[in-house]
């Protein structure tokens, strides 16, 4: 049985290279337009997130001479907030601000269950803006299970665990109110088999995004077409790139 689970874990790693973001990719994909909600020193725009958007462009802004040396690796990291409470297996309760939206996205992405469709339904019910989003999230988990040779419904096999580490974020508002935000994330994902040590073939430098809307006193995941139509992808995250920093990418750390 253990050998069977180990084989499934290997297949999961291979499939996750293609499907790792599939759990929510159907819910919120692409880039964005409007304002970058970070200040020029790498800190969050802690003031009211309701700022007016600036016109978008198809290319990244060039860093000015005074800040040309800055990169995500050399600038101050962004301290994300911890959730105020746990709801159905996932952290919730983030402040109504740009930092709150980014913190929610990081927390959701790191904590969403990849293979247990029952847990996934509970989690999505806590963070989704509509029942349709819940159904989409659960459907993607079941597709992923089938893709790695598991029955469509069930728990994660004993001895297999996954961990996700978000390394950097970029956030922009999709509405003048600041109440709809797209958050891109650069992350690594590791699969571990009990007794076999660390993952020797993890996913690294993956990019995904979530679109969040302020609803019922918290940030909820949405995929409304009117918001997705506004999304344009940013330049890829590179910790050593001045252009990635100028685009708005910031490293994250626990606040």
List of the chain residues with pLDDT < 70: 1-68, 255
Return the number of other C-beta atoms located less than 10 Å from residue 159's C-beta: 16
- What tens digit of pLDDT does each residue of 133-165 get? 999 999 999 999 999 899 999 999 888 888 999
Q: Which of 38, 47, 55, 33 is nearest to 174 (CA)?
A: 33
- Which strands form 160-173's sheet, in the order they lie side by side? 78-80, 250-254, 160-173, 180-193, 203-215, 218-221
Count of domains for the chain: 1
Q: Can you tell me the distance from the alpha carbon of 220 to that of 128, in angstroms, rounded to the nearest whole number?
A: 5
Q: Can you tell me the distance from the alpha carbon of 111 to that of 90, in angstroms, rounded to the nearest whole number?
A: 6
pTM: 0.75
Domain range for 24: 2-254
């Amino acid at each position: 049985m253990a050998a069977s689970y180990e084989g499934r874990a290997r297949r999961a790693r291979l499939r996750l290279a293609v499907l790792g973001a599939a759990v929510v990719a159907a819910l919120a994909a692409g880039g964005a337009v409007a304002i970058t909600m970070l200040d020029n020193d790498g800190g969050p725009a802690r003031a009211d997130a309701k700022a007016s958007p600036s016109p978008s462009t198809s290319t990244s802004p060039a860093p000015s001479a005074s800040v040309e040396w800055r990169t995500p690796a050399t600038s101050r990291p962004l301290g994300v907030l911890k959730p105020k409470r746990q709801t159905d297996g996932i952290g919730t309760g983030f402040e109504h601000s740009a930092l709150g939206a980014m913190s929610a996205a990081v927390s959701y992405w790191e904590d969403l269950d990849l293979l247990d469709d029952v847990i996934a339904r509970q989690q999505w019910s806590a963070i989704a803006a509509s029942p349709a989003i819940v159904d989409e999230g659960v459907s993607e988990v079941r597709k992923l299970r089938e893709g790695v040779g598991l029955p469509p419904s069930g728990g994660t096999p004993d001895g297999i665990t996954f961990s996700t580490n978000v390394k950097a974020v970029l956030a922009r508002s999709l509405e003048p109110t600041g109440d709809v935000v797209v958050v891109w994330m650069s992350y690594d994902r590791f699969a571990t088999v009990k007794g076999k040590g660390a993952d020797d073939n993890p996913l690294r430098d993956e990019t995904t995004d979530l679109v969040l809307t302020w609803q019922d006193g918290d940030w909820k995941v949405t995929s409304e077409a009117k918001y997705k139509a506004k999304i344009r992808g940013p330049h890829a995250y590179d910790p050593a790139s001045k252009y990635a920093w100028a685009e708005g990418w910031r490293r994250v750390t626990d606040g």
